[in-house]
Amino acid sequence: MKTRAAVAFEAKKLLEIVELDLEGPRAGEVLVEIKATGICHTDAYTLDGFDSEGIFPSVLGHEGAGIVREVGAGVTSLKAGDHVIPLYTAECRQCKTCLSGKSNLCTAVRTTQGKGVMPDGTSRFRYKGREVFHYMGCSTFSNFTVLPEISLAKIRDDAPFDKACYIGCGVTTGVGAVINTAKVEAGANVIVFGLGGIGLNVIQAAKMVGADMIVGVDINDAKADWGKRFGMTHFVNSKNVQGDLVPHLVALTNGGADYTFDCTGNTTVMRQALEACHRGWGESIIIGVAEAGREIATRPFQLVTGRVWKGSAFGGARGRTDVPKIVDWYMNGKIEIDPMITHVLSLDEINKGFDLMHEGKSIRSVIVY
Ligand SMILES: [Zn+2]
Ligand SMILES: [Zn+2]
């Protein structure tokens, strides 16, 4: 079949909207009509050439929602008409990692996914006869795409696609880091570094679980109103702090935070986030993606005296199990998404969506097909 898609032919070039040939689903695979997709920093990271393993030409996009149109041989958990969210972290429920119950980093399709192909080693996309690669196993910048069955979360039919798609990455990354990785408890004090989309989702999850103090740290005063809207109780503009930031935050939280979250990807901030934790038990969670080659540092004394450094990918969420629950939380009003979708664009306007993100003008832009 044919599908319209925004193709990344080369790094550092604009996406081009073209018609691709898409082969139908093979065994264990599912054809999905994508109805909406968010534009995430990770797409820009790859498009801008920072990802040393970036493969071109490819169909980017990993934050979508859509409808199953056809299933391949052997697919049992999904059928045509099901509403789904694509998962860049699969959940096979059979590999060592899935069976451990300790991590969401399923290994079933990891190797082939990283090479831009389906588990059988081939791509379903072609442009003028030439192979075009999949991205993060999702390729949601195509109106139709093929995924492994284990890379799809079935969600309720009444969730709007243009909001639910954000649960495919940003919402789950932020909310999951609070629920699954940190396991923040009621009454805890929390500091969130970086009040972009991920940081706002950390804030609203901290509020949902009953955190006491929720401190937001950013270098942009305009982010204060955004933070407050989702439950932030205190705002610190790190540029305006007299002296060092860490002692300021430790004093503000009466000895340090129970949990801190880095949502900036900046390794200096990651260190501050760890050191702003309470002596003896504070935990710092790294969510932000650092530039390739960067390293983190602190004095070992920080860990010897009980601070804990952790990180999580996709919020530690097991996609097929946890994503439908987060969709329910949204539909039941426990978390908000609508105000974070600041721009809705057509596929033809997708490069504008990247510009808005780079310029810091959007929390999230969503493409609606
Ligand atoms: Zn993402
Ligand atoms: Zn697995």
Q: Which residues surround ligand 2, an ion (CB under 5 A)?
A: 92, 95, 98, 106, 108
From 92, 131, 267, 298, active-site residue = 92
Domain CATH code at residue 226: 3.40.50.720
235 is written with which tokens?
A: 């705002």
Classified as helix, coil or strand, 80 is coil
Cα–Cα distance, 23 to 86 (Å, whole number):
18
The answer as to whether 29 is a domain residue is yes
Whether 212 and 285 map to the same domain: the answer is yes
The answer to whether residue 138 is catalytic is no
- Could you tell me the pTM of the whole model? 0.96
Whether 141 and 180 map to the same domain: the answer is no
Whether 147 and 189 map to the same domain: the answer is no
Domain CATH code at residue 358: 3.90.180.10
The answer as to whether 330 is a domain residue is no
The answer to whether residue 42 is catalytic is yes
Whether 209 and 63 map to the same domain: the answer is no
Domain that residue 292 falls in: 173-313
Q: Are 281 and 310 in contact (CB under 8 A)?
A: no
Whether 136 and 235 map to the same domain: the answer is no
Whether 116 and 68 map to the same domain: the answer is yes
Strand runs (DSSP E) across 41-158, as ranges?
Answer: 58-59, 64-71, 83-86, 125-127, 130-132, 144-148, 152-155
State which of 313, 328, 358 marks the end of a domain.
Answer: 313
Q: Which string of DSSP letters, residue by residue, matches 170-196? A: HHHHHHHIIIIII---TT--EEEE--S
Q: What is the pLDDT along the chain (369 residues), one digit of tens a residue?
A: 999 999 999 999 999 999 999 999 999 999 999 999 999 999 999 999 988 889 999 999 999 999 999 999 999 999 999 999 999 999 999 999 999 999 999 999 999 999 999 999 999 999 999 999 999 999 999 999 999 999 999 999 999 999 999 999 999 999 999 999 999 999 999 999 999 999 999 999 999 999 999 999 999 999 999 999 999 999 999 999 999 999 999 999 999 999 999 999 999 999 999 999 999 999 999 998 888 889 999 999 999 999 999 999 999 999 999 999 999 999 999 999 999 999 999 999 999 999 999 998 999 999 999
The answer to whether residue 62 is catalytic is yes
The answer as to whether 297 is a domain residue is yes
157 is written with which tokens?
A: 């039919």
Cα–Cα distance, 336 to 229 (Å, whole number):
10
Going by C-beta distance under 8 Å and a sequence separation of 6 or more, which residues neighbour residue 325?
A: none
Cα–Cα distance, 201 to 285 (Å, whole number):
14
For the chain, the domain total comes to 2
Burial class of 291 by CB neighbour count within 10 A (0 to 12, 13 to 18, 19+): exposed
The answer as to whether 328 is a domain residue is no
Q: Are 254 and 275 in contact (CB under 8 A)?
A: no
Nearest ligand atom owner, CA of 107: 2
Q: Among all chains, which residue has been given the structure tokens 């809207």?
A: 229
Cα–Cα distance, 342 to 325 (Å, whole number):
24
Cα of 158 vs centre of ligand 1, distance in Å, is 23
Whether 46 and 158 map to the same domain: the answer is yes
The answer as to whether 79 is a domain residue is yes
Whether 225 and 238 map to the same domain: the answer is yes
Cα of 319 vs centre of ligand 2, distance in Å, is 11
The answer as to whether 321 is a domain residue is no
Whether 135 and 184 map to the same domain: the answer is no
The answer to whether residue 268 is catalytic is no
